[in-house]
Amino acid sequence: MDNLGLAKGVRMGRSYFHLHLVSDSTGETLINVGRAAAAQYEGVSAIEHVYPLVRSAAQLDRVISEIRAAPGLVLYTLVGGDLGERLEEVARETGSPCLSVLRPVHDLLRAYLGAETTARPGAQHMLNAEYFKRIDAMNFTLAHDDGNLPEDLEEADVILLGVSRTSKTPTSIYLANRGLKTTNLPLVPGMPLPPAIERARKPLVVGLFASPERIVQIRQNRLSSLNADESSLYVDRSAVADEITMSRRLFTKNRWPTIDVTRRSIEETAAAIVDLYRDHRLKFIAD
């Protein structure tokens, strides 16, 4: 290893480095930032060391011992000055590049607002109205998964439609975590949709589809995990293609926006839906 803790030429030619993520809160911010940045480098993977809720000198001691044992990159979000200064000192001693992820943002806000920050670890996770809105959305979404309680469609913020294995459920849960009450309805050949969906005005209805090859692949993996028969129409390429064609005709007929999820992650799909919902909500309020 070199002084950055980079292990080169190991494990099928990939390079690995130690990434220490030190947070006085849950660590979610650091994990997302670290992974987003590391994903831009092919052939290199991070060995993550996550330390959440570090708010005392004793807790920091454990972090320091692990950094000494495995030097690497150090990212932190410690709002208490003393802990951050001590962490940076140890990072210099071990040759570990160290960065306060929030400091540049705080500096920018301070200069713009002309005000000083108030150190409040985990302030973004306070039990405020937004928090309870997300909990309410999650409860609603879980209760309305896979076509359950179709009579409550008008209470939803978003309704997702799609054939089986178009990532409706995980996308719904992700949207619920963003505070959007989401219900999802499967499109099954021969089974009509609830009549309430044609009367729904408040919710944004979005159609999800993917290529037949992608749907067949996911369905085959699903059946294999269940040790189920893989000879049914459920995984027949021609039958699946017909399902997708039927679904897209339905979306077009009702003028529902659609998203191709073939090569999209759940996060990317959800981001596109949030953008659509913003426009839909503005039009709904205007009407």
- Output the CA–CA distances (angstroms, integers) from residue 274 to 184, 208, 222, 270, in the order listed: 15, 14, 28, 6
Count CB-CB contacts under 10 A for residue 240.
23
pLDDT of residue 1: 44
Question: Does 168 carry a binding-site annotation?
Answer: yes
Q: Is 163 annotated as a binding residue?
A: yes
CA-to-CA distance for 275 and 5, rounded, in angstroms?
41
Q: Please state the pTM of the whole predicted model.
A: 0.72
Ranges in the chain, pLDDT < 50: 1, 3, 5, 7-12
The pLDDT tens digits of the residues spanning 82-96 come to 999 999 999 999 999
Cβ neighbour number for residue 55 with a 10 Å cutoff: 17
* pLDDT given at position 185: 97
What is the per-residue pLDDT for 80?
Answer: 65
Bridge partners of 18, per DSSP, are 47
Integer CA distances (angstroms), 83 to 44, 79, 86, 91, in order: 30, 8, 5, 12
What's the CATH number for 125-284? 3.40.50
Same CATH fold, 125-284 and 15-113? yes
- Domain ranges across the chain: 15-113, 125-284
Spatial neighbors of 155 by CB under 8 A, at least 6 apart, are 140, 181, 202
Q: In the prediction, which pLDDT does 87 show?
A: 97
Token representation of residue 75: 């990212």
> Residue 169, annotated ligand binder?
yes
| Buried/exposed code over 159-172 (b: 16+ C-beta within 10 A; e: otherwise) | bbbbbbbbbbbebb
CATH number 3.40.50.2300 given to 15-113: yes
The verdict on whether residue 164 carries a ligand-binding annotation is: yes
Q: 65, 90 in Cβ contact below 8 A?
A: no
Reported as a single tens digit per residue, the pLDDT across 104-122 is: 988 898 899 987 766 666 5
Residue 17 CA neighbour count, 13 Å, CB half: 20
Asked if 141 and 176 touch (Cβ cutoff 8 Å), the reply is yes
